[in-house]
């Protein structure tokens, strides 16, 4: 009976342990400049800092924007939480903000297991838990949801009983176990989860406001252009007589909007030359919502070399 009970407890711990796997991202300024970190369009630290650690990350990469305190400089790059191209868990990745010939860039520095990192707190480091929604100026409400599951082996016994309560990573698991002399067992498991929602008086401009049906990849920007707005923009681009003029207008439109891969592909197909299509695809990468679908642009090219060059560009940015 003890073996059955122990196995049940270990199973619960194993399942909850799997949910707890995550990564940390540390970003620091070598020159001590204060900055704010924005991941996938969402502000993480409430005020500018020189060293920020973001915990609870579970995606292989994030679109990172660094806004300096004086608002005169910005960095817009991808941060990859991967080791040799393989997604890892429970790893702490460190990126530094460096000055390269007068231009600031984000550069990978190191990766180490979270369990093996220095447990001592750094008074100069701000630690925040990753937020996938905009919480600046927001108020939060909490909703509790409980699920009861009852499992009975044999007849319900009237023997000795035990109650066990476990709380892991904000998830509470309560178990009532009754055991009879003939090793029959009845267990009642209650799992309580807590979820939070936020509301803001301002405009909620983040990727939580838009979900692309059937897509489970990384979101690179908040929400795509509406169909009508995109069609108007597309017609305007198509009205230009030369690729150079079309590319200039397309960049102006893309630079201030968020586009789906299929929308970017349609704009590429308005271009006559392979070189222009490639330049447009590279530029649009930084304003694309469904980054996991970027391979769909390959069909717009006529040469394999263009596909390879675009792939190298997205991997390095």
pLDDT digits (tens, 9 = 90+) for 93-141: 999 999 888 888 999 999 999 865 554 457 778 999 987 766 544 443 3
Q: What is the pLDDT of residues 11-50, one digit of tens each?
A: 544 444 444 458 999 999 988 899 999 999 888 998 899 9
Residue length, the chain? 317
Q: How many helices (H) and strands (E) does the chain have?
A: 6, 15
Which is nearest to 291 in space by CA: 80, 51, 37, 5? 80
CA-to-CA distance for 206 and 97, rounded, in angstroms?
Answer: 25
Q: Are 306 and 277 in contact (CB under 8 A)?
A: yes
**Domain segments of the chain: what residues?**
22-133, 142-196, 219-316
CA-to-CA distance for 240 and 247, rounded, in angstroms?
Answer: 9
32 φ, ψ to 5°?
Answer: 75, 25
Half-sphere exposure of 309 (CA within 13 A, CB side): 14
Task: Answer whether 0.95 is exceeded by the pTM.
Answer: no
Alpha-helical (H) ranges within 26-132 are none
CA-to-CA distance for 317 and 302, rounded, in angstroms?
Answer: 23
CATH code assigned to 22-133: 2.60.40
CA Rg value for the chain: 25
Crossing angle of helices 261-268 and 227-238, rounded to 10°:
20
């Amino acid at each position: 009976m003890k073996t059955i009970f122990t196995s049940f407890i270990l199973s619960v711990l194993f399942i909850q342990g799997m949910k707890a796997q995550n990564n940390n991202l540390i970003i620091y300024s070598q020159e001590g400049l204060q900055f704010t970190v924005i991941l996938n369009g969402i502000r993480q630290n409430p005020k500018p800092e020189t060293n920020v650690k973001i915990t609870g990350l579970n995606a292989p990469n994030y679109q990172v924007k660094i806004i300096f305190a004086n608002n005169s400089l910005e960095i817009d790059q991808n941060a990859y939480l991967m080791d040799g191209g393989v997604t890892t868990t429970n790893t702490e990745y460190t990126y530094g903000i460096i000055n390269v010939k007068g231009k600031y860039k984000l550069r990978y520095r190191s990766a180490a297991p979270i369990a093996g990192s220095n447990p001592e707190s750094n008074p100069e480091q701000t630690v925040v838990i990753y937020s996938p929604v905009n919480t600046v100026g927001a108020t939060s409400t909490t909703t509790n949801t409980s699920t009861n599951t009852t499992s009975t082996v044999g007849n319900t016994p009237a023997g000795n009983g035990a109650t066990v309560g476990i709380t892991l990573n904000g998830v509470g698991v309560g178990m009532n176990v009754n055991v009879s002399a003939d090793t029959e067992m009845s267990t009642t498991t209650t799992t309580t989860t807590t979820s939070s929602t936020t509301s803001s008086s301002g405009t909620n401009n983040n990727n939580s406001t838009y979900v692309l049906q059937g897509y489970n990849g990384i979101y690179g920007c908040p929400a795509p252009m509406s169909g009508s707005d995109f069609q108007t923009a597309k017609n305007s681009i198509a009205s230009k007589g030369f690729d150079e003029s079309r590319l200039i207008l397309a960049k102006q439109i893309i630079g201030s909007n968020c586009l789906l891969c299929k929308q970017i592909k349609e704009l590429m197909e308005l271009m006559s030359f392979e070189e222009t299509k490639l330049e447009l695809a590279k530029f649009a990468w930084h304003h694309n919502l469904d980054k996991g679908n970027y391979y769909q642009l390959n069909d717009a090219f006529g040469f394999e070399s263009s596909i390879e060059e675009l792939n190298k560009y997205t991997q390095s940015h």
